[in-house]
Structures are given as C-alpha cells and as structure tokens.
Structure 1
Amino acid sequence: MGTLYRHFPTKDDLLATVLEQQFTSWLTAAHEQATATEDPWQALAGFFEQMLTTQAGNRAVIESYASTGGPTSSCAQRCYSFIDELRTRCMNAGLLRPDVTTADLVLLSGSLSQAVLTTGDTHPGQWRRLLHISLDGLSSRNTEPLPEPAAHLHPPRND
C-alpha cells in the first residue's frame, strides 16, 4: 500500500492515471485501425463507430471522465491531431463537405458520446442511428453552407 500511495497520493490521482492509460490504449488502437483502412470515409466512420462502441461498453469510464474533467490535455491534443488527420484524408478525397472543421468533428464526438450515456439504459444502441445521421450530414453531397463556427472552438492547448 505504501508504494501505491507514494505514486498516487489520492484516489483522483490514481483514477486520472488509469483513465489516461485507457484513453491512450483506445486512441492507439483507433489510429492503427484507421491507418490500415484504405478508404478515408470508412476510416472516419470506423473511428466514430469504434469510439462509441468502446464508450457504450465502458460507461463507467466515460462517467469518470465527466467527473474528472475529461482526458488530460496531452491526450486531448493527440485525439484532436488524429481527428484532424482523418478529416484531412476525407477532405483530400473530396468525401467531406468542405466547410467541416476538425473542431466540428471533435464537438460531434462529444455530442455522440453524450448520446451514448443518455440512451444507454433506455435505448442501448440508439447512438448508432445518430451516428449515421451525423455522418450523412458530413458528406460532401451536402452543399448548403454550414453556419459559421463559434470563435471559441480551438484545438486543445499543449500544456
């Protein structure tokens, strides 16, 4: 126990470390899967599918993130960079509507994560419907301009 308390003075410190390890593990797996997927759209859709499936199966972890303020800034920055990579691949292939930003996709991932938590007990899997609706809205087939993004949506800082 002494060793544990030397490394983690509080339960919150231990929880933050465990959450960061789980987040890093998930993000590494998601990155490997997306990199192995040749089709950019399938890589983006697969990322969202994997993220939400993981969250649906680990709701306690997601709720812990809510109570601790989310992943560390370095985890958030790595995730932002990865989502930007997926967005760029889709954009370069002409598959994503041209006015979608990385911040839009990050916000969408947070919104869909909330849907997983909100519907998990009453309508498990309902998030899949919302994911498909969202992905359809991101498609380059949709040409009506989006409203201007909020000025405060910036990439996470590297602290």
Structure 2
Amino acid sequence: MSSITITRRPIWLAIVITPLLTPLAFFLAYVTYFVAMGYNRPGLSWGGALAFMYLFGVPVGYVAIATLGWPWIASLVRWRKLTVGYVCGGSCIIGMFAFFLFATLISGNKQFALSGTAQQLATGLVLGLLSGLIFCVVAGVPYKPRN
C-alpha cells in the first residue's frame, strides 16, 4: 500500500481544505494577471471578484472533489500511484469538466461557441491544477512513488 493511505488525516484534511483555498489561489492568480497587464481596478471591485469566486467556487469545489476527486485519489492509492503528477493530471481534467459543466448550467446557454468553450476549458484547467497542487501540499503527496 502507498505510504499515504485513504484514512490518514492529511488526505482528509486536504479534501476539506482544498475547495476552501482554491478560490483564494485563483483570485491571486487573477489579480496578478490583470495587474501585470496594466489593468487597474478599484479595491471594491477586487473584493467583489473575490466574493464571487468564493460564492460559486467553494460549492462547486466540494461537489467536484466529492464526486470525481475522491474516487480519483482512492484509485491512485489503490494503484500505488499517488504522486503529484497523477494527482495534478487528474485534477486538471476534473477541473475542466466541472467548470465547463458549471459555466454551462449557470449561463443557460445551450449553444457552444468555440471561443467561449475554449475559455471555459482553460479556466477549468487552471482551477484544476491549482486544486491539485493545493491538495498535494496539504496531504504531503510525494513527487515520486514510494515503494
């Protein structure tokens, strides 16, 4: 069995904390991107963006980790492949799927424009990667498999 098992506290802690920290990490990346591009927003506008990210990001994050993330982590543990690469690879795919589904449901737009779809998938990929990295840090997931 892997040195990190399903019942060990860090995995449970990571499952609980990851959806809470992902919106903050995404917000910091969002602010960094816009500041680097020269876009200056008033502080109240940044606060609204953070509130929006938490309002929708936390519930979507918990649904995604409960329905797709947890089975993926359990499978990795069972296969003895619980490493940063596998966790982040799976979380990118899960993030793309979850964000695309969420964006489609919330917008009510059943017509898929290629540019909008690509932007949704790219945003989901970034969110998934951030979630995977946060999970790995909190759970102490190794870079290489341990025998």
Instruction: Calculate the TM-score normalised by the size of structure 1.
Output: 0.31
- TM-score if structure 2 supplies the norm length? 0.32
- Determine which structure has greater relative contact order: mean sequence separation of CA pairs < 8 Å that are 6+ residues apart, divided by chain length: 2
